[in-house]
């Protein structure tokens, strides 16, 4: 399948993130995309550049204030004499006002961010915008008749909510792909998120809608990031009740326990009878991932791809997480190859 890739991803090189009480070099680093690009190319998936769909699809899903902040954040940072990378130092948590958007850049950081692990640098907007265009382009390829397409999105997207960014994510690439397919006449679309972390942003964006089913299989928020979303009792609101499903799993989950839950999640998707599918593809479920705690092995990624293919749906893959950098490319390529061989 075609792999949509932009070298602009490299403009986002975050520097340091706050991780378990320490500032450490970002796990979400540019070389991730280089490894993936090389491995998917070697596996025979031809690279293609993104088209430019502009800001309209982004503004259709994300709050205009968030988008404007992401666009201008680093300029505001420079205007107060700063350089390097931006992290928030105070959040609009319980007891704090949500209805006042702070005028200053440090206040805005804490207003729009939900963690201190997602630095913004000078090139972040360019990279996030290009990443979103990669997802939209992959969706367009599928809308135009390809069975499947892969968007090599970096930065990732599934934590980015309507009006908040975090978890290394700024714009929700998977949600943009799903909405694009809706806009091209697919009446119903499912998003299945197999990243190690709960896809809280995608859930947020579609939480009150019945036309886009969101399903996520992930490390339990009892112990895992993003901690405050991803529980099984989050099933949707209003018209969306029943159209969000979460499958939290404990640390240490291996393939034998994972496969049955993946099958259940795939059955939920199949029962919805969607016209198209978006897979939020993280390979941080891998046993050697430095920030995650599942125990999947390289041999399991083709099986995931084949199981997804058996749904028989037009499918867009968006790249999400995976931090065992040297193995990330082969694991991603294995999913895509498994999909093609399993279809």
Considering only residues 196-215, where is the footprint of Zn ion by CB under 5 A? 196-197
Q: How many CB atoms lie within 10 A of CB 252?
A: 10
Strands 16-19 and 22-25: antiparallel
Least distance in Å: CB of 253 to Zn ion? 14
Least Cα distance to 341 among 143, 194, 148 occurs for 148
Give whichever of 169 and 307 is closer to ligand FKS, judged by the CB atom.
169
Would you call 312 exposed, middle or buried from its count of C-beta atoms within 10 A (0-12, 13-18, 19+)?
A: exposed
Give whichever of 122 and 320 is closer to ligand FKS, judged by the CB atom.
320
Q: Is 119 in the site for Zn ion (CB under 5 A)?
A: no
Structure tokens, 340: 């093609």
Least Cα distance to 328 among 34, 21, 42 occurs for 34
Q: Which of 13, 17, 193, 195 binds Zn ion (CB under 5 A)?
A: 195
Q: Is 284 in the site for Zn ion (CB under 5 A)?
A: yes
- Residues of this chain that interact with ligand FKS (CB under 6 A) are 17, 19, 28, 115, 117, 156, 158-159, 167-169, 195, 197, 225, 282, 284, 291, 320-321
Q: How far apart are the first and last CA of the chain?
A: 12
Active site annotation includes 159: yes
Q: Which residue has the tokens 């995931």?
A: 304
DSSP 256: H
Q: Judged by CB under 5 A, which stretch of 97-105, 122-130, 209-217, 320-328 contacts Zn ion?
A: 320-328
Structure tokens, 307: 């199981």
Least distance in Å: CB of 184 to Zn ion? 28
Cα(336)–Cα(339) distance, integer angstroms: 5
Structure tokens, 259: 């496969």
Give whichever of 124 and 186 is closer to ligand FKS, judged by the CB atom.
124
Least Cα distance to 247 among 265, 259, 235 occurs for 265
Q: Which does 289 bind (CB under 5 to 8 A by kind): ligand FKS, Zn ion, none?
A: none
- Residue whose beta carbon is closest to ligand FKS: 321
Least distance in Å: CB of 320 to ligand FKS? 3
Out of 45, 158, 159, 218, the active site residue is: 159
Catalytic residues: 159
Point out which residues bind Zn ion (CB under 5 A): 195-197, 282, 284, 321
């Amino acid at each position: 399948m075609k792999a949509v890739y932009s070298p602009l991803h490299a403009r986002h090189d975050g520097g340091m993130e706050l991780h378990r009480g320490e500032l450490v070099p970002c796990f979400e680093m540019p070389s991730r995309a280089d490894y993936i690009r090389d491995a998917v190319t070697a596996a025979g998936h031809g690279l293609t550049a993104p088209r430019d769909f502009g800001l309209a699809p982004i503004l259709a899903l994300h709050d205009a204030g968030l988008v404007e902040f992401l666009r201008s954040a680093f300029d505001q940072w420079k205007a107060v004499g700063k350089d390097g990378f931006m992290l928030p130092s105070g959040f609009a948590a319980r007891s704090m006002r949500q209805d006042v958007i702070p005028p200053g850049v440090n206040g805005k950081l804490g207003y729009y961010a939900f963690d201190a692990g997602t630095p913004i640098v000078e090139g972040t907007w360019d990279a996030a915008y290009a990443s979103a265009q990669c997802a939209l382009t992959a969706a367009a390829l599928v809308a135009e008749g390809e069975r499947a397409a892969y968007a090599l999105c970096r930065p990732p997207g599934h934590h980015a909510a309507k009006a908040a960014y975090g978890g290394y994510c700024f714009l929700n690439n998977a949600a943009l792909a799903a909405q694009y397919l809706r806009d091209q006449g697919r009446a119903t679309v499912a998003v299945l998120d197999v990243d190690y972390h709960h896809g809280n942003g995608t859930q947020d964006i579609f939480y009150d809608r019945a036309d886009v089913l969101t399903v996520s299989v992930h490390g339990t928020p009892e112990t895992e990031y993003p901690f405050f979303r991803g529980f099984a009792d989050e099933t949707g609101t209003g018209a969306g009740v029943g159209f969000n499903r979460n499958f939290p799993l404990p640390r240490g989950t291996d393939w034998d326990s994972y496969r049955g839950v993946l099958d259940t999640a795939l059955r939920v998707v199949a029962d919805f009878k969607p016209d198209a599918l978006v897979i939020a593809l993280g390979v941080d479920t891998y046993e050697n991932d430095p920030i995650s705690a599942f125990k999947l092995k390289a041999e399991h990624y083709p099986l995931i791809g084949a199981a997804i293919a058996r749904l028989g749906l037009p499918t867009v893959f968006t790249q999400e997480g995976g931090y065992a950098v040297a193995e990330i490319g082969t694991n991603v390529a294995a999913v895509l190859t498994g999909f093609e061989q399993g279809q």
